[in-house]
């Protein structure tokens, strides 16, 4: 079995409901994988364009703002591409048609790992899992298994040149389950915070640094890292560990600067 913390996938795809979902939950992991050469794709299902109570704001204007903020956040994290699906914010449904769109993307970009949210309904004394979050998790998981690897489910995709493809691992974030995998993001927690700060329309005057450091330190404490992001990892097919590139030495970094 691979050491998940040292495994750097060649290609990874993050599928979430709203702009800023990735930054809150998984951007430290995305930034770490991108830093060490992973081709990272963000798939944002809605534009988050009902997420405002500002007087005079329209859904059309907010969609433009949030797409720009998410694109800037993705750039901070060093990801390869950020794709927007334009599904209705607040009314996201795990439809067969959306599943087909995600299957097409999975077969096109061939991620070794898909990262998504938890499809379960859960709540605490101060939080209720957003319906868009759980519907995004459901449709992402259904696209991964068994759909992306099934040649007969959407034969028209095969005719279009999108051959069946099997994902190796799924990492579920924002979950009710206890995490079984923790990614050490000590070296990228600052990047996670910087990316999250790009979502000005949602943060307002709130600076997320203190809370993000608190959350990631709590996760890291469980496994002995300064900062971590936790996931429930599903193994669909095991692969041999890929060697994690060594961080640059100070001299090498100065030579390349």
pLDDT classification of 127: cutoffs 50, 70, 90: confident
Looking at residue 36, the DSSP 8-state letter turns out to be T
The arithmetic mean of pLDDT across residues 49-62, rounded, is 83
Spatial separation of the C-alpha atoms in residues 120 and 227, rounded to whole Å: 26
Looking at residue 128, the DSSP 8-state letter turns out to be B
- Fold of the domain built from segment(s) 11-256: Rossmann fold (3.40.50)
Q: Which residue has the higher pLDDT, 126 or 246?
A: 126
Confidence at residue 248, expressed as pLDDT on a 0 to 100 scale:
42
pLDDT classification of 177: cutoffs 50, 70, 90: confident
Q: Which residue has the higher pLDDT, 241 or 128?
A: 128
Of 48-52, 122-126, 129-133, 253-257, highest mean pLDDT: 129-133
Residue 119 has pLDDT above 80, yes or no: yes
The arithmetic mean of pLDDT across residues 207-229, rounded, is 96
For the chain, the average pLDDT equals 91
> What does the pLDDT look like over 24-50, one tens digit per residue?
999 999 999 999 999 999 999 999 998
List the one residue out of 10, 44, 32 whose CA is nearest residue 229: 32
- Predicted TM-score (pTM) of the model is 0.90
Considering all CA atoms of the chain, what is the largest pairwise distance in Å, rounded to the nearest integer?
Answer: 54
- The backbone torsions φ and ψ at residue 123, rounded to the nearest 5 degrees and listed phi first, read -155, 165
Spatial separation of the C-alpha atoms in residues 31 and 74, rounded to whole Å: 9
Q: Which residue has the higher pLDDT, 242 or 27?
A: 27
């Amino acid at each position: 079995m691979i050491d998940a913390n040292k495994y750097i996938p060649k290609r990874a795809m993050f599928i979430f409901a709203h702009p800023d979902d990735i930054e809150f939950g998984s951007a430290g992991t995305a930034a770490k994988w991108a830093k060490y050469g992973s081709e990272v794709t963000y798939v944002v299902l809605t534009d988050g364009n009902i997420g405002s109570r500002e007087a005079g704001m329209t859904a059309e204007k907010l969609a433009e703002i949030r797409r720009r903020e998410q694109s800037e956040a993705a750039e901070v994290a060093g990801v390869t591409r950020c794709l927007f699906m334009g599904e209705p914010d607040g009314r996201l449904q795990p439809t067969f048609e959306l599943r087909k769109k995600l299957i097409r993307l999975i077969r096109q970009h061939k991620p070794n790992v898909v990262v998504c949210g938890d499809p379960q309904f859960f709540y605490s004394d101060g939080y209720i899992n957003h319906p868009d979050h759980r519907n995004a998790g459901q449709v992402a998981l259904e696209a991964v298994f068994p759909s992306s690897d099934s040649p007969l489910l959407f034969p028209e995709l095969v005719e279009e040149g999108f051959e069946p493809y099997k994902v190796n691992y799924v990492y579920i974030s924002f979950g009710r389950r206890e995490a079984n995998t923790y990614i050490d993001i000590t070296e990228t927690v600052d990047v996670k915070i910087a990316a999250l700060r790009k979502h000005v329309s949602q943060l307002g005057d709130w600076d997320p640094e203190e809370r993000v450091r608190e959350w990631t330190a709590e996760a890291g404490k469980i496994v002995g890292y300064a900062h971590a992001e936790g996931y429930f990892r599903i193994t669909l097919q095991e692969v041999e560990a890929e060697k994690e590139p060594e961080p640059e030495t100070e001299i090498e970094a100065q030579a390349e600067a």
